[in-house]
A and B are shown apart, each in its own frame.
Chain A
Amino acid sequence: MAVKEFIYKPDDHELEKAANSYLMSMIALMAGLPLPIINLIATFIFFLGNRKGTYFVRWHCCQALFSQATIVFVNSFCFYRTMSIIFGSAKVTNSYIAYLITVIVFNIIEFIITIQAAVYIRKGKHIEWWFFGTLAQLICKK
């Protein structure tokens, strides 16, 4: 995660909307648990709602969307394995427990980073995450 200069100085209303994209994804993640897909759908709807917004807002919506997409992959597999244990014939193994711990740690880290990003962006700092920032830069059109 790095604080970088954006190509222009965003206005206050842009900062508010961009920070909201992270807050919204976080609340959707909390509200949607244990279902892993809710946060991605919510972030995508938010992105659609802001598709006519300014470049800064769209850029941060993209970054939030990509980060949530990664979370979905990780959480979905964990959800599938847990359901197999509860309703299927699968057994609790060491690898499952290790994966569960990894998923929990991953979610907590993502949660903290998202809060931090929302706070920084509201203060006017442009946050670029590793990988997701570059991806948003490539995909989001000016």
Chain B
Amino acid sequence: MESQKVDLFLMTHSKYFESYQIPIIREQLLLADDSKFIALQTINFKEPVMMLVVSLLGGHFGIDRFIIGDVGLGVAKLLTCGGVGIWTIVDWFLIMGRTREINYEKVMMILG
């Protein structure tokens, strides 16, 4: 992939990833062929700050976990009322990192 395209992609999507993941993604993107760029554009990235807001408002019902795709943990959180409130507090601090991790996994799945 052209470096211009790669840099443009990283500039517009850097907020979805951890800082240490960006050089790895860049390297992988440069090695990938152009056909993967369209697939990358179709990925539905989750915004970490939005997930934090969801966690603050609906964390007790596991909505944050459902949205990012951790359905199993979401069900567990829903049934335990957010782990009697404890898990909800913990997730306020974990959810942003987990969202970035999931976004990274999505990119890596496409890039192989």
Decide if A31 touches B85 in the complex (CB within 8 Å). yes
State which of A13, A23, A32 has its C-beta within 8 Å of the C-beta of B93: A23
Stretch from A41-49, A80-88, A105-113 contacting the other chain: A41-49
For B86, the chain A residues whose CB sits under 8 A away are: 28, 32, 38, 41-42, 45
Tell me what chain B mostly uses at the interface: helix, strand, loop, or mixed.
helix
Contact B90 A42, beta carbon cutoff 8 Å: yes
Shortest B111–chain A CB gap in Å is 21
Count of A interface residues, CB-CB < 8 Å: 19
Residues on the B chain within 8 Å of A46, using CB: 90, 93-94
Q: Are A49 and B90 touching (Cβ within 8 A)? A: yes
B contact residues, total (Cβ < 8 Å): 14
In the complex, chain B residues whose CB is within 8 Å of the CB of A13: 18-20, 97
Q: Is A45 touching B20 in the complex (CB atoms < 8 A)?
A: no
Task: Say how far B85's CB is from chain A's closest CB, in angstroms.
Answer: 7
Against A, the Cβ 8 Å flags (1 = close, 0 = not) of B89-100 are 110111001100
Instruction: Establish whether residues B94 and A28, one from each chain, have CB atoms under 8 Å apart when the complex forms.
Output: no
**Does any Cβ of B come within 8 Å of A11's Cβ?**
yes
Contact residues in A for B19 (Cβ distance below 8 Å): 11-13
Sample of 11 A–B contacts (CB below 8 Å)? A13-B97, A24-B89, A27-B92, A28-B89, A28-B90, A32-B86, A41-B86, A45-B86, A45-B87, A46-B94, A49-B98
**9 nearest A-B pairs in the assembled complex, by CB-CB distance:** A20-B93, A24-B93, A45-B90, A49-B94, A13-B18, A42-B86, A46-B90, A41-B86, A42-B90
Excluding A13-B19, A45-B86, 20 further A-B contacts by CB distance (< 8 Å) are: A11-B19, A11-B20, A20-B93, A21-B93, A23-B93, A24-B90, A24-B92, A24-B93, A27-B89, A28-B90, A31-B85, A38-B86, A42-B90, A45-B83, A45-B90, A46-B90, A46-B94, A49-B90, A49-B94, A50-B94
